[in-house]
Amino acid sequence: MIGIVIITHGRMSEVLVETASLIMGEQKDLVAVTFSARESLENLRQKAREATSLYRDSGCLILTDVLGGSATNICAELLPHDWIRILTGVNLPMLMEALSQRENLDLLTLARKVHGGGVRGIIDLKDFFEEHARKKK
């Protein structure tokens, strides 16, 4: 099974794991890596490598919070590994998509599907309801 590693500033990764587990049940091969302002980049680098190395054989999807942030920049160093894919802008719909699809897809296809799930999860409710009302007419 493809491993999923979430690496974010603060405790966001832990909260995403807790929330996804609340909705979908406990998940195997799902790791939260946190990073605080007091930690060194070398410490984050070590935590990222340790978390992802568990999935060298099965593949690893890394979800980070923001492009250009420390977590993403450190993870970018792992891009040469063909068993790793990295998506930025992690949100709950992305994580749920990853968890529900990772047993059925290869790593590249999973990354693309999770990306789409994240985008589909962002909705302007006013536009959504107005369009829905127009379709009913």
End-to-end CA distance of the chain: 46
Active site residue 9: yes
- Is the model's pLDDT at 137 over the cut of 80? no
- Kindly report the backbone phi and psi dihedral angles of residue 135, in degrees, each rounded to the nearest multiple of 5, phi listed first: -70, -25
Q: Where are the domains of the chain?
A: 3-136
Candidate list 9, 81, 115, 132, residue with the active-site label:
9
**Which pTM was predicted?**
0.92
User: For domain 3-136, which CATH number applies: 3.40.50.2000, 3.40.430.10, 3.40.50.11540, 3.40.50.510?
Assistant: 3.40.50.510
Write down the pLDDT at residue 34: 94
- Find out whether 4 and 95 touch, Cβ atoms under 8 Å: yes
- Is the model's pLDDT at 136 over the cut of 90? no
37-81 pLDDT, tens per residue? 898 999 999 999 999 999 999 999 999 999 999 999 999 999 999
Q: Which residues pair with 34 in a beta bridge?
A: 8
Average pLDDT score over residue span 15-30: 97
- Find out whether 74 and 45 touch, Cβ atoms under 8 Å: yes
Write down the pLDDT at residue 135: 87
